[in-house]
Chain A
Amino acid sequence: MSDLSAPLPSLADRARVVQADSGIVGVHFFKQTPVFVLGEEALLFAPVEKRTSVAIHGGGILVSAGDGQRIVTGGDDGKLVSTNRDGDHEVLATDEKKRWVDQVALGPDCAVAWAAGKVAHLRTGKGEARQLELPSTVAGLAFFPKGFRVAIAHYNGATLWFPNAAAKPDVLEWKGSHLGVTVSPDGRFLITTMQEQTLHGWRIVDAKHMRMSGYSARVRSLSWTHDGKALATSGSEQLILWPFEGKDGPMGKQPTMLAQSPSRCSAVACHPRQPVAAAGFSDGSVMLIRLDDGALILAREADGDPVSTIGWSAEGQVLAMGTEGGVGSVLTL
Chain B
Amino acid sequence: MNTPTSVEKIPVTVLTGYLGAGKTTLLNRILSEPHGKKYAVIVNEFGEIGIDNELVVNADEEVFEMNNGCICCTVRGDLVRIIDGLMRRKGKFDAIIVETTGLADPAPVAQTFFMDENVGAKTRLDAVVTVADAKWLKDRLKDAPEAKNQIAFADVILLNKTDLVTPGELAEVEARIRAINPYAKLHRTERSNIALDEVLGRNAFDLDRILDIEPEFLTADDGHDHDHHHDHDGHDHHHHHGGLKHYHDEDMQSISLKTDKPLNSDKFFPWVQDLVQTEGKDILRSKGILSFKDDDERFVFQGVHMILDGDHQRAWKEGEERTSRIVFIGRHLPEEKIRKGFESCIA
Chain A residues with CB under 8 Å of chain B are: 22-23, 25, 39-40, 59-62, 76, 97-100, 102, 117-118, 136-137, 139, 155, 175-177, 179, 194-198, 216-218, 220, 263-264, 282-283, 304, 306
Q: Are A195 and B88 in contact (CB under 8 A)?
A: no
Output the nearest chain A residue to B88 by Cβ-Cβ distance.
Answer: A39
Q: Are B64 and A25 in contact (CB under 8 A)?
A: no
Q: Are B117 and A217 in contact (CB under 8 A)?
A: yes
Choose the segment among B77-85, B147-155, B232-240, B293-301 that binds chain A (4+ C-beta atoms closer than 8 Å): B77-85
Q: Are B77 and A40 in contact (CB under 8 A)?
A: no
Output the nearest chain A residue to B5 by Cβ-Cβ distance.
Answer: A304
**Can you list 22 A-B pairs, Cβ within 8 angstroms, ordered by A?**
A22-B91, A23-B90, A25-B88, A59-B89, A60-B86, A60-B88, A60-B89, A97-B46, A99-B58, A100-B85, A136-B62, A137-B60, A155-B64, A155-B77, A175-B65, A177-B64, A195-B64, A195-B75, A195-B80, A195-B116, A198-B67, A217-B118
Q: Is B104 an interface residue (CB 8 A)?
A: no
Residues of B within 8 A of A22 (CB): 89, 91
- The contact of A97 among B54, B58, B75, B88, by CB within 8 Å, is B58
Q: Is B66 an interface residue (CB 8 A)?
A: yes
A202 to chain B: closest CB distance in Å?
Answer: 16
- The contact of B118 among A62, A155, A218, A283, by CB within 8 Å, is A218
A306 vs B2: C-alpha distance in the bound complex, in angstroms? 12
Other than the known A137-B81, A176-B66, what 11 A-B pairs have Cβ atoms closer than 8 Å?
A60-B88, A62-B88, A97-B46, A117-B60, A136-B77, A155-B62, A177-B80, A195-B116, A218-B118, A283-B3, A304-B3
Q: Are B58 and A137 in contact (CB under 8 A)?
A: no
Q: Is B346 an interface residue (CB 8 A)?
A: no
A195 vs B65: C-alpha distance in the bound complex, in angstroms? 10
| Residue of B1, B3, B118 contacting most chain A CB atoms (<10 Å) | B3
Q: Is B57 an interface residue (CB 8 A)?
A: yes
Residues of A within 8 A of B64 (CB): 155, 176-177, 195
Residues of A within 8 A of B60 (CB): 117-118, 137
- The contact of B57 among A40, A61, A100, by CB within 8 Å, is A100
B1 to chain A: closest CB distance in Å?
Answer: 7
User: 4 tightest CB-CB pairs across the interface, nearest first?
Assistant: A39-B88, A177-B64, A60-B89, A176-B67
Output the nearest chain A residue to B89 by Cβ-Cβ distance.
Answer: A60
A155 vs B62: C-alpha distance in the bound complex, in angstroms? 9
A264 vs B121: C-alpha distance in the bound complex, in angstroms? 13
Residues of A within 8 A of B75 (CB): 177, 195
Known: A155-B62, A195-B75. A102 touches B85 (CB 8 A): yes
A161 to chain B: closest CB distance in Å?
Answer: 20
Residues of A within 8 A of B88 (CB): 23, 25, 39-40, 60-62
B178 to chain A: closest CB distance in Å?
Answer: 37
Output the nearest chain B residue to A194 by Cβ-Cβ distance.
Answer: B67
A100 vs B78: C-alpha distance in the bound complex, in angstroms? 11
Q: Are A62 and B5 in contact (CB under 8 A)?
A: no
Known: A137-B62, A194-B67, A196-B66. A39 touches B81 (CB 8 A): no
A104 to chain B: closest CB distance in Å?
Answer: 13
A40 vs B55: C-alpha distance in the bound complex, in angstroms? 13
A283 vs B5: C-alpha distance in the bound complex, in angstroms? 10
A246 vs B57: C-alpha distance in the bound complex, in angstroms? 45
B56 to chain A: closest CB distance in Å?
Answer: 9
Q: Are A76 and B85 in contact (CB under 8 A)?
A: yes
A35 vs B331: C-alpha distance in the bound complex, in angstroms? 55
A198 vs B90: C-alpha distance in the bound complex, in angstroms? 27
A60 vs B84: C-alpha distance in the bound complex, in angstroms? 12
Q: Are B57 and A76 in contact (CB under 8 A)?
A: yes
Interface string of B69-100 (1 = CB under 8 A from A): 00000010110111001101111100000000
B103 to chain A: closest CB distance in Å?
Answer: 18
A217 vs B3: C-alpha distance in the bound complex, in angstroms? 14
Residues of A within 8 A of B58 (CB): 97, 99
Known: A22-B91, A59-B54, A97-B58. A196 touches B81 (CB 8 A): no
Q: Are A139 and B91 in contact (CB under 8 A)?
A: no
Residues of B within 8 A of A59 (CB): 54, 89
A193 to chain B: closest CB distance in Å?
Answer: 12
A107 vs B85: C-alpha distance in the bound complex, in angstroms? 24
| Residue of B67, B115, B117 contacting most chain A CB atoms (<10 Å) | B67
A235 vs B66: C-alpha distance in the bound complex, in angstroms? 18
A22 vs B88: C-alpha distance in the bound complex, in angstroms? 9
Residues of B within 8 A of A179 (CB): 80-81
Residues of A within 8 A of B77 (CB): 136-137, 139, 155, 177, 195
Residues of A within 8 A of B62 (CB): 136-137, 155
Residues of A within 8 A of B1 (CB): 216, 264
Residues of A within 8 A of B66 (CB): 176-177, 195-196
Residues of B within 8 A of A197 (CB): 117
A139 vs B75: C-alpha distance in the bound complex, in angstroms? 15
A98 vs B56: C-alpha distance in the bound complex, in angstroms? 10
- The contact of B117 among A25, A139, A198, A218, by CB within 8 Å, is A218
Residues of B within 8 A of A263 (CB): 3
B59 to chain A: closest CB distance in Å?
Answer: 10
A198 vs B117: C-alpha distance in the bound complex, in angstroms? 13
B58 to chain A: closest CB distance in Å?
Answer: 6
A199 to chain B: closest CB distance in Å?
Answer: 12
Output the nearest chain A residue to B122 by Cβ-Cβ distance.
Answer: A324
B235 to chain A: closest CB distance in Å?
Answer: 40
Output the nearest chain B residue to A283 by Cβ-Cβ distance.
Answer: B3
A282 vs B65: C-alpha distance in the bound complex, in angstroms? 28
A150 to chain B: closest CB distance in Å?
Answer: 19
Residues of A within 8 A of B91 (CB): 22
B240 to chain A: closest CB distance in Å?
Answer: 49
Interface string of B251-292 (1 = CB under 8 A from A): 000000000000000000000000000000000000000000
